[in-house]
């Protein structure tokens, strides 16, 4: 046994325990502090797949949109699937307002694929020259009209795959037409929907396709048909690109965007 010697080193030795080693040797081991019982760690809420929000928050967002605006619609003017298709093609990189100013006169004289194909590229260009990138759009629309006549009997196809074979028609345009003209629960991601989905944390993504696929997974079925209309309108009038108007946003308490824009001083 180690006796207390009266000096600091010996006193420290006395606080050691003896741990047996192999054979007859023993090794002193310092006392280890007893571990304290850990409290229960708080569980993080489970997020919806691909979202920064929980599924309950996602549901709440669309429930609020539905309560305020139960029947959202596109702001493009059209009369049938073909004129809607033309309007959506024209709206790429342009405002709905600029399209709506040009299409009434256009549709009066070329409201069918046959009439549009007969109109010709030059005259169509003159009709839509107030819209962005009008030359490319005129060329695509004439080719689109001719392809509808040649391959689809002049009818707008009702599948995304067939729509996307038409000149000037991408995934967003196809989704908007399927949703608005044919009542399918597709989600078209334009610049407004893309911004809202990322800014709020609802469906963050680097590409419109990534955002669309996340929304398709997490938006409740009962809200899916109107989902992109709500996101587009919210982005256009409330969650604006330069300065979001957070003070009048109905989902500001859920939205992850910070800092919130305060109400203007009047």
Q: Per-domain residue ranges for the chain?
A: 81-237
Instruction: Give the per-residue pLDDT at 169.
Output: 98
Q: How big is the chain, counted in residues?
A: 266
Convert the pLDDT of each residue in 154-211 to its tens digit.
999 999 999 999 999 999 999 999 999 999 999 999 999 999 999 999 999 999 999 9
What are the structure tokens assigned to 215, written together? 């929304």
| Coil/strand/helix, residue 80 | coil
CA 140 – CA 137 distance, rounded (Å):
5
Cα-Cα-Cα-Cα dihedral of 121, 123, 127, 133, to 10°? 30
| Residue 206 falls in the annotated catalytic set | no
Architecture of domain 81-237: Orthogonal Bundle (1.10)
Q: Which of 217, 216, 198 is nearest to 207 (CA)?
A: 198
Q: Which of 190, 216, 224, 258 is catalytic?
A: 190
Which residue of the set 127, 137, 172, 224 is catalytic? 172
* Sequence-distant (≥ 6) Cβ neighbours of residue 85 within 8 angstroms: 144, 156, 163, 166, 169, 173, 177, 181
pLDDT tens for 126-153 read 999 999 999 999 999 999 999 999 999 9
| Catalytic-residue membership of 258 | no
């Amino acid at each position: 046994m180690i006796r207390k010697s009266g000096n600091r080193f010996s006193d420290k030795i006395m606080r050691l325990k003896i741990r047996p080693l192999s054979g007859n040797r023993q090794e002193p081991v310092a006392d280890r502090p007893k571990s304290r019982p850990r409290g229960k760690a708080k569980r993080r809420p489970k997020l919806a797949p691909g979202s920064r929000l929980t599924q309950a928050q996602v549901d709440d967002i669309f429930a609020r949109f539905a309560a305020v605006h139960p029947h959202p619609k596109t702001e493009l003017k059209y009369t049938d699937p073909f004129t809607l298709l033309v309007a959506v093609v024209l709206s790429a990189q342009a405002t709905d307002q600029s399209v709506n100013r040009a299409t009434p006169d256009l549709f009066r004289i070329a409201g069918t694929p046959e009439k549009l194909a007969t109109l010709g590229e030059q005259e169509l260009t003159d009709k839509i020259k107030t819209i962005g990138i009008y030359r490319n759009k005129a060329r695509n629309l004439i080719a689109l009209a001719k392809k509808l006549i040649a391959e689809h009997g002049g009818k707008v196809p009702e599948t995304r795959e067939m729509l996307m074979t038409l000149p000037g028609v991408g995934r967003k345009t196809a989704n908007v037409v399927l949703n608005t003209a044919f009542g399918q629960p597709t989600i078209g991601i334009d610049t407004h929907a893309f911004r809202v989905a990322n800014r709020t944390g609802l469906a963050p993504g680097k590409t419109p396709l990534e955002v669309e696929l996340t929304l398709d997974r997490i938006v409740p079925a009962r809200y899916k048909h109107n989902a992109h209309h709500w996101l587009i309108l919210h982005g256009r009038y409330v969650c604006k690109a330069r300065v979001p108007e957070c003070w009048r946003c109905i989902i500001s308490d859920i939205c992850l965007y910070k800092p919130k824009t305060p109400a203007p001083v009047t």
